[in-house]
Amino acid sequence: MSALSMKKPLGDKAAFMRKLTFGARFLFFGFLLNACGGSSTGTLQSIKINQQMAVAFPEFNATGIYSSGRQVTPLSVGWFDFPLNSFLVANPHYTLTKSAFLPQCTAGVALTVMTIAPIDANASTSGTIPASVFQDFATGKTNNEGGFLAATAQLNCP
């Protein structure tokens, strides 16, 4: 073998090692950026309720809209349904879920369907909502109060 043909395999190995080293550095900085919040979706700004028909009854899921502009469907939320003009006497309990929601429909009854989520992404996945905050959401007074966001929809049960 000539000296020229001996250098070629070494040159290929050196190029391969440079590419491998670059790839490893790229991955390392990607992981570092992600660990420092580089992939953050931002703060939850609003919730949108989506309704589809599932067999004979409506089914709901929620979309979260974040300050970064990113939209997440399904969003982990707590679901509630109640007849219009109902009265609340205690602090309601919520459990966040990404599952579709099927309201408890009775033929001819009008319901308010409400979804609630904590604004803080690190908040507990279950807990209670102050009754005054829940009432303000239910009556449409606000959709952002007490560290929670809410969205409501009206449903006339078939």
Residue extents of the structural domains in the chain: 1-39, 44-156
In the sheet with 78-83, reading across from the earlier edge strand, the strands are 78-83, 110-118, 148-156, 144-145
Residue bearing tokens 């909502």: 129
pLDDT band at 36 (very low <50, low <70, confident <90, very high): very low
Task: Quote the CA–CA distance of 134 and 139 in Å, as a whole number.
Answer: 9
pLDDT at 55: 72
* Mean predicted confidence (pLDDT) in 5-34: 57
Note the pLDDT tens digit of each residue in 48-103.
Answer: 999 988 777 789 999 999 999 999 999 999 999 998 777 677 889 999 999 999 99
Q: Which residues contact 54 (CB under 8 A, 6 or more apart)?
A: 100, 102
Quick one: DSSP state of residue 137?
A: H
pLDDT at 42: 84
Model pTM greater than 0.75? no
Dihedral through CA 8, CA 14, CA 16, CA 20, nearest 10? 180
